[in-house]
Amino acid sequence: MQRICVFCGSNSGNNPLFVDHSKKLGKIMAKEKIELVYGGAKIGLMGVISNEVIKNGGKVIGIIPKFLNKKEIINKDITKLHQVSSMHERKKKMYDMSDAFIALPGGIGTLEELSEIITWNQLKIKKTPIGILNINRYYDELIRQFNTMSKNKFIYSDTLKLFKVSDSPHQLMRDIMNIKELE
């Protein structure tokens, strides 16, 4: 596994654990020599994880639409930055460049990106590991909703097996990398 795309917020949220676990994940990725692919900003959890990967000697690829230059602050300290013309192009490039995906806490954009990659796996457009870092039970309601969709036959129960969920960055990395323990 060479690259993991991390979906996360352009805000840091209101719980210090969001920042703490994002830093832990970034440190693990750098240590394991896994490049970070992400949204290109230096603010919020996006900035936290990208800065942590860089700080620990890892590589970071940011992908940001040109129109967000005014709204989000671009992280110019990363290894490579791709500026694209649209959100669709951003997601496509992120998906094409990545071997696995992890969702950290975030807003509607994070939820949309996570939903799309789960859908792509369900439809067999892409077959890749997906992880949800459920920091401080942030995604409990979403996971319950996925179960409700399955019980009501709007998604197949197999869909629930397309992603791994953990509240531990170390455990989630072990799960999506399919290894017993990290160094």
pLDDT computed for residue 178 by the predictor = 81
Place of tokens 């970071």: 60
Residue 182 lies in a domain: no
pLDDT computed for residue 57 by the predictor = 98
Give the list of residues 6+ apart from residue 39 with CB closer than 8 angstroms, or none.
Answer: 7, 8, 10, 46, 62, 63, 64, 72, 90, 94
Report the run of H or E that residue 35 belongs to, with start and end. strand 35-38
Give the list of residues 6+ apart from residue 66 with CB closer than 8 angstroms, or none.
Answer: 83, 84, 85
Q: What is the spatial distance between Cα 21 and Cα 146, in angstroms, rounded to a whole number?
A: 24
Residue 78 lies in a domain: yes
**Domain holding 71: CATH number?**
3.40.50.450
Judge contact between 61 and 92, C-beta under 8 A: no
* CA neighbor of 106 nearest in space, from 47, 148, 30: 47
Domain housing 132: 3-173
pLDDT computed for residue 156 by the predictor = 84
Report the run of H or E that residue 166 belongs to, with start and end. strand 164-166
The tally of domains found in the chain comes to 1
Q: What is the spatial distance between Cα 51 and Cα 180, in angstroms, rounded to a whole number?
A: 27
pLDDT computed for residue 157 by the predictor = 80
pLDDT computed for residue 183 by the predictor = 43
Weakly modelled stretches of the chain, pLDDT under 50: 182-183
Q: What is the spatial distance between Cα 67 and Cα 49, in angstroms, rounded to a whole number?
A: 23
pLDDT computed for residue 69 by the predictor = 75
* Per-residue pLDDT tens over the stretch 145-173: 999 999 999 998 888 999 999 999 999 99
The secondary structure of 91-150, three-state, reads: HHHHHHHCCEEEECCCCHHHHHHHHHHHHHHHCCCCCCCEEEECHHHCCHHHHHHHHHHH
pLDDT computed for residue 72 by the predictor = 63
Judge contact between 15 and 135, C-beta under 8 A: yes
Q: What is the spatial distance between Cα 110 and Cα 142, in angstroms, rounded to a whole number?
A: 12
Q: pTM above 0.85? A: yes
Residue 183 lies in a domain: no
Residue 102 lies in a domain: yes
